[in-house]
Chain A
């Protein structure tokens, strides 16, 4: 594979609940960006959400339906408690480490659903408040497909933050 063109996209506004710092310098992971990305028929996207998860009731964190004409390729899933998300991924050269100042004791589970089918469950707690998973195969949302992430707390009120990193392709 020839070296891809360097393409910088930085999401670093301090007022965002979640910010992604992404610098595309080439493929280094198992998940290949789609050919459309290198052909510049795609662009990076971060789908982020946060919610105060409570015991006994699943609360929606992300509820996104892919727009007509656009396909989303998710390459990474990040779930964390507390703080701000400074997204990173193994394939990206990044500048922002995640920060998660620990406050109260809590634990929560995030459930990732594609068209109402659970495809992933992630648990985070006060001791392990950060989870990052590079997908081995991209999480693909074709036009009309729905991505929903729900969170439920096991212990206390849990500030759950979720991010799905990836690309939109179009045309």
Chain B
């Protein structure tokens, strides 16, 4: 489910930012939104935090 959501967000992103090889932040200027991706200890996506710019 998280993968599908991420695919959707990635496809809308103007900036796709990786840190240490992991997707870290997505920025959509059209939506004026920033999405931060949080991982659990096993490396799975735990949460996607949505913020307004």
Q: Mark B12-53, 1 if CB is under 8 A from A, else 0.
A: 011111111111010101100000000000000000000001
Given A60-B21, A67-B8: A47 and B14 interface contact (C-beta under 8 Å): no
Chain A interface size, as a band, is 20 to 34
Given A9-B29, A11-B27, A67-B8: A43 and B20 interface contact (C-beta under 8 Å): no
Cβ contacts under 8 Å, A77 to chain B: none
The yes or no answer to A49 lying at the interface (CB within 8 A) is: yes
Asked whether, in the complex, the Cβ of A51 is within 8 Å of the Cβ of B11, the reply is no
Asked whether, in the complex, the Cβ of B10 is within 8 Å of the Cβ of A48, the reply is no
List chain A positions with a Cβ less than 8 A from chain B: 9, 11, 13, 16-18, 20, 43-52, 59-64, 67-70, 168, 170
6 A-B pairs with C-beta separation under 8 A: A11-B14, A49-B18, A62-B18, A62-B21, A67-B10, A67-B11
List chain B positions with a Cβ less than 8 A from chain A: 7-8, 10-11, 13-23, 25, 27, 29-30, 53
